[in-house]
Amino acid sequence: INTIGVLTSGGDAPGMNAAIRSVVRAALAKGMKVVGINRGYNGLISGDIHEMTSKSVSDIIQRGGTILHTARCLEFMEPQGQQRGADMCKVFGIDGLVVIGGDGSFKGAEKLANLGINTIGLPGTIDLDIACTDYTIGFDTAVNTAMEAIDKIRDTSTSHERCSIVEVMGRDAGYIALWTGIANGAEAVLLPEKENMSTEALIRMIIENRNKGKRHNLIINAEGSNLDSVKLAKKIEEVTGISTRATILGHLQRGGSPTAVDRMHASMMGAFAVDLLAEGKSNRVVAYKDGQYVDYDINEALDMKKSMSDLRYEVSRVLSI
């Protein structure tokens, strides 16, 4: 491999910059040339590509977001767009490519691999919704950010003896919800992966909690669950008479300086990706599984099904009484 390209694709995640820095510096250390590709596959197709030096990644390890910018590229989902991407790799002499993103981004990497470009995927998403890995870059920071925000909501909710519905991100996955549910001591967690309490059961729980002397209730609702946070809050207030507020945390969960955990894994995974390319590997995704950095065939990884820990879910329920 002479020239490695690096891009970030899909939703950004804290720690992506640490991963970019690691790819650039690990590749330079092996005597390779590195180019940064702006705005994901969009920038690949349009040739928004520039050489990166050790200096171009200094002072970024602590920054949220991605210095390469990111996008969701519709054109790259079509064979014509993929061919244009592969052609542009040839124009710029890119013979190895590191794609930092989620499952959708890996599908693009797989297409490029089929067109002769050696590609490696790094799992970057706050959602933790990639089946082959126990960890994704950005999840730790997002959970910590959400946890701190929910602690603040709890302060005011307790003062007013209210019920709070807090909606967290995760798309179709409930990992941020489950983790904050445990970390924030929620009375209930609503997840896309599990059969959730009905509105009536939630209302019954809130009334029983009030009768037991609980002065506030915290319900964490994953954005992918089947319940609408605002409607749920209205219904609870209407039926119980308990003042209830819904807060949708939204994009604040995607920003901020990455935690040490995210910086560490992103740095290790970036260097691991460069090692794989140097060994001539392609169409692989880097994962963190049972405490080890490993790699899987992208197609195999995309076929895996993620299953949420029943143990964590059970503990979240037991501790909510």
Which of 33, 69, 171, 235 binds ligand F6P (CB under 6 A)? It is 171
Site for ligand F6P in 184-213 (CB under 6 A): none
Element (H, E) at 64: none
Nearest to ligand F6P of 35, 177 (CB atom):
177
Q: Alpha helix (H) ranges present in 213-279?
A: 229-240, 260-278
Q: Alpha helix (H) ranges present in 125-165?
A: 139-159
Q: How far is the CB of 142 from ligand F6P (least distance, A)?
A: 8
Which of 66, 70, 105, 125 binds ligand F6P (CB under 6 A)? It is 125
Residues 6+ apart with CB under 8 A from 142: 13, 14, 126, 169, 176, 253, 254
Is 151 annotated in the active site?
no
The DSSP bridge partners found for residue 289 are: 292
* Count of residues engaged in binding ligand F6P, rule: CB under 6 A: 9
Q: Is 11 in the site for ligand F6P (CB under 6 A)?
A: yes
Among 12, 95, 127, 295, the one annotated catalytic: 127
What are the respective helix, strand and coil percentages of the chain, to the nearest 5? Answer: 45, 20, 35
Burial-class residue 225 by CB neighbours within 10 Å (0-12, 13-18, 19+): buried
> Any known ligand binding at 127?
yes
Per DSSP, which regions of the chain are E strands? Answer: 3-8, 33-37, 49-52, 96-101, 118-123, 163-168, 188-190, 217-222, 244-248, 284-289, 292-297
> Any known ligand binding at 317?
no
Q: How far is the CB of 221 from ligand F6P (least distance, A)?
A: 13
Residues 6+ apart with CB under 8 A from 141: 13, 14, 15, 64, 126, 256, 257, 258, 259, 262
Q: By the 8 A CB rule, do 230 and 198 touch? A: no
Which of 126, 130, 222, 232 binds ligand F6P (CB under 6 A)? It is 126
Q: Is 170 in the site for ligand F6P (CB under 6 A)?
A: yes
Stretch that binds ligand F6P, among 107-115, 123-131, 289-297, 303-311 (CB under 6 A): 123-131
Q: Is 127 in the site for ligand F6P (CB under 6 A)?
A: yes
Which of 44, 94, 112, 169 binds ligand F6P (CB under 6 A)? It is 169
Residue 255 amino acid letter: G
Stretch that binds ligand F6P, among 86-94, 169-177, 189-197, 300-308 (CB under 6 A): 169-177
Q: List interacting residues with ligand F6P (CB under 6 A).
A: 11, 125-127, 169-171, 223, 254
Q: Report, as residue numbers or ranges, the catalytic residues.
A: 127
Q: Binding site for ADP: residue ranges?
A: 21-25, 154, 185-187, 212, 214-216
Residues making up the binding site for substrate: 125-127, 162, 169-171, 223, 245, 251-254
